[in-house]
A and B are shown apart, each in its own frame.
Chain A
Amino acid sequence: MNAYLLIIIPLAGAVLAALWPHKGTRPLLLPAVGLTHTLLCLLLLVKPPVVDPAAWLAFDPLARAILPGVSLLFLICAWYAVGYLRLKEQDNRVFVPALLLVLGLLSAGHQARHLGILWIATEAVTLACVPLIHFSGTPRSFEATWKYLLVGGTGIALSLLGSICLGYASLHGGGSGDITFTALLAHGPDLSRAWVLTAWVLLLVGYGTKMGLAPMHTWKPDAYGESPGIVGALLAGGVTSVAFMALLRVKSVIHAAGVGAVADRTLLAIGLFSTLIAALFLLRTRDFKRMLAYSSVEHMGILCIASSLGAPGVWAALFHVWSNGLTKGALFLSAGNLQRAADSSSIDEVRGMSKVLPRSSLLLVTGMFAITACPPFGPFFSELLIVRTGLAAGQGWAMGLFLVCLLLAFFGLSRIVFAVVDGSPRRKKTNTSPFRESAGLILPPIFLLAASLWLGLFTPDLLKSAWSAAVLQLFPTP
């Protein structure tokens, strides 16, 4: 029941927001629904419900390991959105319901235990994000939305084809065509190998497009660059995690079918490739919002590398989902502040922001150090764990390349961030009103960074046990 509440409450909130008559008070629904959702998630995190193995939607250990983090990220973004939307003249009659819709569908996607339901939730999230990305309504945001839709739509089509192939693998192996993950896992050894491998390739490309793995990442810089910071934070921390969750669930089926080694090798290869491509583009880009997109590609690559390293690697990957989501959120929100004050996100036009917006600039710099794995923030500990797991698994070369990519990414990120923050500010245009760093725009990113710090220094035992339970669900000991 609670599993359904996590989906129904945001969806009901979306309907309410669509009918809400006042533009000024409508954004308040966001934190209200977000808070309810987070409290419910925390309750379920502390007291995990008993899961019916045949259920299509349930708060199972895997959902328990990731969804509370996404919910927390949404809550903080919702808090920020109240202050953000107050500054905007555009109508938010579509924006607010779409955000709530995204939360409901993310909850559905994380809890989906059925291949078809998972696909529908992912597709619906993709569509619900469309109005969010072209919120600003400029020609550039139309361009970004078109590319997002075309690339994302193709990816989603391929993941449906992959789901069909996996269903066919089950049918070919004498199954009844039941495509819940429980049934597929139980059926594992009987699944037709050829169809399982076909399904894996298609699902990896399909969900990998949604995650933004290279070379399917091309929509990401445009979409993140042109959408509001809060949307970028939710895309990078929430939507990508559904796709990652989908890959984890599918991978466990591939393992059960006895071709897990192939899946691990492809994940490692695509993960390293994504990290490398992201690092190289980070050295080139001249826009600090697109920089965040490439950083997201890099971290999706890191998740793939980690999940190719067996059970301990998946544990580290779940840790990294949390630390990346929260830290990236802080970066997107503070970058959003800078972009609004400077009216641009290109380092050719924005400089000396530490004198204009000292607090947001400090947050951006701190967030940059956090995301490039400087201790003692969350990403440092999760990435350290990944490297140690990789070395223990005998992937020395891969880890060496991985560390080189991290170093290049650090050069790229710090180059852009300091170009924006340092120097003397450009002269402001006379007719624009000065941007004020109100508490509603500064406290949320501070809170996210604090959460990242807390996650690194004092990883709660509750979360550790939740991640262990999720790993146990994916790799049941024979």
Chain B
Amino acid sequence: MNDTLNLLIGLAMGLNLLALGTSRLPVLIRTVAVQGVLLGLLPLVLEVHALDWRLVLITLATVAGKGFLIPYMLTRAMRAANIARELEPFIGYIPSLLLGAGGTIAAVALTRYLPLLPEHTGNLHVPGAMALILTGFILLIGRTKAISQVCGYLILENGIYLAGLLLISSTPILVEFGILLDVTVGVFVIGIIVDRIQRAFDSLDTRKLTALHE
């Protein structure tokens, strides 16, 4: 079980670096989509001994939402705005890559000092979650295009979802489902806003959102 788990999470962590290093929005969206699918499969791996229809349903919903629906909406928003590149990020690509890589190494190194249950030690589950959250924040802060920021938010959500999987055997499924729904709706609304911002500002550049200040 641990091998498959480490493989999936390891790949997701690798995709972080791709997301941090690319300036092309289609690549970024696809990276986030693949990461979503990889993480969406995790419930099946984690609960391989106790598979039931609820778990399968959750997996299907996660994969469909994170892997297909949301990336589709983002691609549409991107086409509507007619932009394909993040040109002048606040934090450049090399610095964000270095930050992300350093953060990932630190997450792996620090995990052994965390008070974890025996079943959560010795694999990439917790460091993976921390690395994803960190990457999400770097993108959220370091990018200027609305779509890149939404992708950053998605990676952040992926990390939190990964952290939530620590509790999958104990927390009622119902709550998880609600969480899933909310995440989807949240991005849906963000998508609408992106659409509106594009109509209002033509460029999806959040740096132009500066009318409101003291």
Contacts and interface: CB of A to CB of B under 8 A. Distances in A.
Interface residues of B, number: 38
A5 B179 CA distance: 23
Given A140-B212, A150-B149, A177-B167, A127 B140 contact: no
A120 B182 contact: yes
A226 interface: yes
B201 A139 contact: yes
28 contacts: A120-B179, A123-B182, A123-B186, A130-B193, A139-B201, A139-B211, A140-B212, A142-B197, A143-B209, A143-B212, A145-B193, A146-B146, A146-B197, A146-B209, A147-B212, A157-B157, A157-B160, A160-B160, A160-B164, A164-B166, A164-B167, A167-B171, A176-B170, A192-B115, A194-B115, A225-B212, A286-B214, A290-B214
Nearest to B187: A153
A144 interface: yes
A117 B175 contact: yes
B133 interface: yes
Interchain residue pairs A-B with the least CB separation, the first 7: A177-B170, A116-B175, A143-B209, A222-B212, A139-B200, A120-B178, A123-B182
Contacts of A168: 166-167
A426 interface: no
B206 interface: yes
A140 B160 contact: no
A285 interface: yes
Interface string A92-136: 000000000000000000000010110110011001001000100
A340 interface: no
Contact of B214 (A120, A123, A154, A284): A284
A116 B178 contact: yes
Contact of B212 (A127, A134, A144, A164): A144
Contacts of A150: 140, 149, 153
Main secondary structure of the interface of B (DSSP, over half): helix
Point out which of A117, A144, A153 has the most chain B C-beta atoms below 10 A from its C-beta.
A153
Interface residues of A, number: 48
A149 interface: yes
Contact of B115 (A195, A226, A285, A286): A195
A290 B160 CA distance: 33
B212 A226 contact: yes
B161 to A, nearest CB: 9
A142 B200 contact: yes
A179 B167 CA distance: 11
Nearest to B192: A130
A194 B186 CA distance: 31
B185 interface: yes
A469 interface: no
A201 interface: no
Interface string B142-161: 00001001000100110010
A454 B115 CA distance: 52
A347 B91 CA distance: 37
B197 to A, nearest CB: 6
A253 to B, nearest CB: 16
A157 B190 CA distance: 14
A286 B212 CA distance: 12
A240 B128 CA distance: 33
Contacts of B133: 161
A146 B193 contact: yes
A171 interface: yes
Given A134-B196, A149-B189, A171-B117, A157 B156 contact: yes
Main secondary structure of the interface of A (DSSP, over half): helix
B163 interface: yes
A172 interface: yes
A13 interface: no
A149 B149 CA distance: 12
Contact of A143 (B115, B179, B211): B211
Interface string A268-300: 000000000000010011100010000000000
A221 B189 contact: no
Contacts of B163: 161, 164-165
A281 B211 contact: no
Given A116-B171, A177-B167, A160 B115 contact: no
B186 A140 contact: no
Contact of A154 (B116, B140, B164, B170): B140
Nearest to A195: B115
Contacts of B172: 116
A142 B115 contact: no
Interface in B104-157: 114-117, 133, 140, 146, 149, 153, 156-157
Nearest to B182: A123
Nearest to B149: A150
Nearest to B208: A143
Nearest to A194: B115
A280 to B, nearest CB: 10
A116 to B, nearest CB: 4
Nearest to B137: A154
Nearest to B126: A168
Nearest to A178: B170
A161 to B, nearest CB: 5
Interface in A358-385: none
Nearest to A226: B212
Contacts of B197: 142, 146
Contacts of B193: 130, 142, 145-146, 149
Contacts of A222: 212
